[in-house]
């Protein structure tokens, strides 16, 4: 083809791969051509200058209706990264979205999300005269518009059923995580990042992207207001991305918080104080981070106490949480107000009775503890059953 003749002159090292694409096109092997195109654009070594833009506009556009439309949308998602100008990138996506009837709901939704992603990462036009306040206001307005569309698309994403390819869900939650990383709050970022991990295998991420995600999720988990379940992120492989990096201590910090080990936190903090203080998300909320650990210690104490023995003395709570006895009442009220525990206090008897503790994802050690308690419970049930059986008189006929 004429396009490939020119492309080979510009990129002779890609001649063989261009030749393969041309042969599949000549033979009208659309499925094989789709697979070859996905492989071609997915290889970063093939991205030279504007070659992907030219590949689409001078080659793929001739037969785009013959391809699997969701795969076409994914190809477009790679091609759009080659555009240096955001307006040109938006026009490229908009031109595709004019063909919604052909694209179908999944490909259309994927491209809608792609368009929002371009908007999110588009620079805010300067306000003029260096007016930072106006620039911030313009950015806030842009984010508000994106948030509204993001929430609107959530219903469409949730409506997808029986879809084997999770790429639409993955694209949506990647966009949502990026949005909440910029706009906050941290717990919303953490929530959407967890969803992203549910639809995006770790091996599908670039190593630097995995490290960045693991770092951001760790910081959000530690500093986020509504995050008290660290087992969720520890149950995924993402934390392993931190191993061998300067941020490996964050993974250790997550494990410390999951166990609510106050002494281990103090040791880890003193060992990595400089790295800790280099993270504004942690240093600006240090008091809150310490409060969260104390609340987790209370929850852990309740969890490890058998249900029938969950009337705890203030002194026992104080010893476990490393607090003065006169602060236990405040701690219990704080935990109840956050919905972490339910129960009552007897200020005269200095006792806290807990009826319920928030469920959480357990690690292997916590599962072992729970299994031991279930074993004790089963033994007691068996002993009670035998006692009743032995003390029950046989009925005569």
pLDDT digits (tens, 9 = 90+) for 13-40: 999 999 999 999 999 999 999 999 999 9
Mean pLDDT within 373-381: 56
- CA–CA separation, 241 and 224 (whole Å): 21
The three-state secondary structure class of 344 is strand
Length of the chain: 397
Bond from prior residue into 185 cis (ω within 30 degrees of 0):
yes
pTM score, two decimals?
A: 0.87
Q: What is the pLDDT of residue 366?
A: 52
Q: What is the pLDDT of residue 112?
A: 97
- Whether residue 395 has pLDDT greater than 50: no
* Burial (CB count within 10 angstroms: exposed 0-12, middle 13-18, buried 19+), residue 30: middle
- CA–CA separation, 262 and 294 (whole Å): 8
Structure tokens at 347: 């200020």
Name the more confident of 362 and 132: 132
Name the percent of the chain lying above pLDDT 90: 79
pLDDT in tens, 121-150: 988 665 555 678 888 899 999 999 999 999
Q: What is the largest CA-CA distance in the chain?
A: 103
pLDDT in tens, 204-223: 999 999 999 999 999 999 99
- Whether residue 231 has pLDDT greater than 60: yes
- Residue among 7, 20, 81, 95 nearest 51 (CA): 7
Helix axes 100-120, 86-97, angle to 10 degrees: 160
Q: What is the pLDDT of residue 378?
A: 54
- Whether residue 171 has pLDDT greater than 70: yes
Residue 19, number of CB atoms within 10 A of its CB: 12
- CA–CA separation, 31 and 374 (whole Å): 55
At 396, is the pLDDT very low, low, confident or very high (cuts 50, 70, 90)? Answer: very low
- CA–CA separation, 392 and 386 (whole Å): 10
Q: Rg of the chain's alpha carbons, rounded to an integer?
A: 28
């Amino acid at each position: 083809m004429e396009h490939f003749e020119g492309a080979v002159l510009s990129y002779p090292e890609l001649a063989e791969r261009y030749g393969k694409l041309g042969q599949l096109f000549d033979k009208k092997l659309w499925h094989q051509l789709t697979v070859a195109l996905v492989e071609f654009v997915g290889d970063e070594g093939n991205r030279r200058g504007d070659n992907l833009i030219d590949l689409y506009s001078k080659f793929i556009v001739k037969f785009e209706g013959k391809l699997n439309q969701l795969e076409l949308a994914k190809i477009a998602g790679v091609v759009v990264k080659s555009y240096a100008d955001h307006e040109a990138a938006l026009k490229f996506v908009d031109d595709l979205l004019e063909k919604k009837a052909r694209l179908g709901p999944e490909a259309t939704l994927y491209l809608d999300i792609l368009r929002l992603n371009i908007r999110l990462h588009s620079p805010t036009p300067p306000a003029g005269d260096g007016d930072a306040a106006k620039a911030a206001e313009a950015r806030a307005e842009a984010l508000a518009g994106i948030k509204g569309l993001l929430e609107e698309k959530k219903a469409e994403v949730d409506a997808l059923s029986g879809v084997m390819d999770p790429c639409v869900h993955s694209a949506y939650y990647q966009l949502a995580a990026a949005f909440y990383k910029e706009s906050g709050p941290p717990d919303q970022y953490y929530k959407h990042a967890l969803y992203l991990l549910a639809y995006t295998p770790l091996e599908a991420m670039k190593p630097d992207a995995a490290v960045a995600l693991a770092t951001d999720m760790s910081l959000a988990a530690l500093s986020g207001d509504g995050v008290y379940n660290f087992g969720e992120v520890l149950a995924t492989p993402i934390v392993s991305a931190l191993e061998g990096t300067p941020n490996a201590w964050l993974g250790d910090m997550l494990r410390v918080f999951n166990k609510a080990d106050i002494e281990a936190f103090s040791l880890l903090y003193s060992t990595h104080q400089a790295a800790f203080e280099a993270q504004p998300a942690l240093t600006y909320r240090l008091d809150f981070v310490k409060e969260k650990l104390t609340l987790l210690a209370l929850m852990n104490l309740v969890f490890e106490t058998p249900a029938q023995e969950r009337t705890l003395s203030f002194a026992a709570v104080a010893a476990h949480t490393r607090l003065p006895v006169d602060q236990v009442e405040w701690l219990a009220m704080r935990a109840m107000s956050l919905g972490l525990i339910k129960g009552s206090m007897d200020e005269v008897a200095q006792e806290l009775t807990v009826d319920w503790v928030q469920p959480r994802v357990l690690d292997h050690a916590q599962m072992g503890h729970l299994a031991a308690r279930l074993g004790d419970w089963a033994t007691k049930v068996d002993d009670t059953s035998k006692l009743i059986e032995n003390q029950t008189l046989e009925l005569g006929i």
